[in-house]
Amino acid sequence: MEFALQLRTLELFCTIAEHRSFSKAAVVHHLTQSAVSQAMQQLEESVGVELIDRSKRPLILTPAGKTYLSGLRGILRSYERLEQEVRSNSRKLSGKVSIGTIVSVGLSYMPDASEAFGRLHRDVDVRTEFGSNARVFEMTTEGEVDFGLVSFPHSNKDIQFVLWQQEPMRLVCSAEHPLATQNEVSLSQLSGIKMIAFDRGLQLRQEIDRCLAKAGINVNVCMEFDNADSMIRAIQASRGIGIVPEAAVRRETATGSLRVVACRELRMTRPLGIIFRRSGRLSRAASEFGSLLLGRPLEAGKRVKSGSGKLTVEAATSEPETGSSVVA
């Protein structure tokens, strides 16, 4: 019991670091603000250093607190995975899990996730259905799949979502493109450049255009595609350049057929989410798969909307965000 209490205190500290607020952490953990404050005071007494600078609003971590948080997150993720493995040995799952996904997310994340899930639950058949963002919403609404993986998630009368991660967008070019040999480019160098882009009807393209226009940059779009895979093939074949999700080009950048072009002023992320039907409940197998993707428990009967469903542009001085997904 004492260990369980210590574990909850450590999880509480991580929540405070995320929300930078005792009161918000109290809401998340269903505690009073006083209880949260006392727990943090006891934690600091236990480690012998101040972890949270309470003089700032919103709260910030002290240098020692940042070091503690960095190591703690890894420990908690390892413990969660250990619990999953132990539970899987004592509660054998079987049946089917059907997941709808947009192409870029399915190709980037589902192979590793399915393999990891298969090692834990060999008797569960995982099936993936591909489609456009709208089609995945339709499949989920109609009950054709257990849940969906989409970009720019949003809720409606039938669907609610959990924010999964903010996926970085990268400026990439073929190895033969003129910018491939440059260590870094400025945003102004993209003005007027020929670029391969997503179809203008896609929300991702519209958000990218809006971000570039806000910075005063106009590009010359020479080709448009409705999915990242086709866009990547076109960049390779035409010695071109474009802005694509980071995970979609991991293989190509690793082999050198595509290059990531560093641009400090261009730091975008696209939101990815898991969508569910408001009615009904997820099967235990589907809930376990969702938990694997999220890197934290996903309760089958709970629909929690969290975070923003909009493309974000980070300040050039901000640090890259690291997700908690076990397969991201």
Using alpha carbons, select from 102, 28, 81 the residue that is nearest to residue 293. Answer: 81
Kindly tell me if the per-residue pLDDT of 309 is higher than 60. no
Kindly tell me if the per-residue pLDDT of 181 is higher than 50. yes
Kindly tell me if the per-residue pLDDT of 206 is higher than 50. yes
If you write DSSP's letter for every residue of 34-75 in order, what string do you get? HHHHHHHHHHHHHHTS--EETTSSS-EE-HHHHHHHHHHHHH
The pLDDT value given to residue 297: 80
Using alpha carbons, select from 179, 182, 223, 181 the residue that is nearest to residue 200. Answer: 223
C-alpha–C-alpha distance, residues 268 and 26, integer Å: 31
pLDDT > 70: percent of the chain: 87
Structure tokens given for 4: 């369980």
All domains of the chain in start order, with CATH: 2-87 (1.10.10.10), 94-165+270-313 (3.40.190.10), 167-268 (3.40.190.290)
Kind and range of the H or E run holding 254: helix 250-255
The pLDDT value given to residue 91: 63
Kindly tell me if the per-residue pLDDT of 107 is higher than 60. yes
Per-residue pLDDT band at 306 (split at 50, 70, 90): very low
Per-residue pLDDT band at 296 (split at 50, 70, 90): confident
Kindly tell me if the per-residue pLDDT of 80 is higher than 50. yes
Contact residues for 144 (Cβ-Cβ < 8 A; gap 6+)? 98, 100, 129, 138
Kindly tell me if the per-residue pLDDT of 20 is higher than 80. yes
3-class DSSP state of 249: helix
Q: What is the CA 122 to chain-centroid distance, rounded?
A: 26
Mean pLDDT calculated for residue range 235-258? 92
Full-model pTM: 0.64
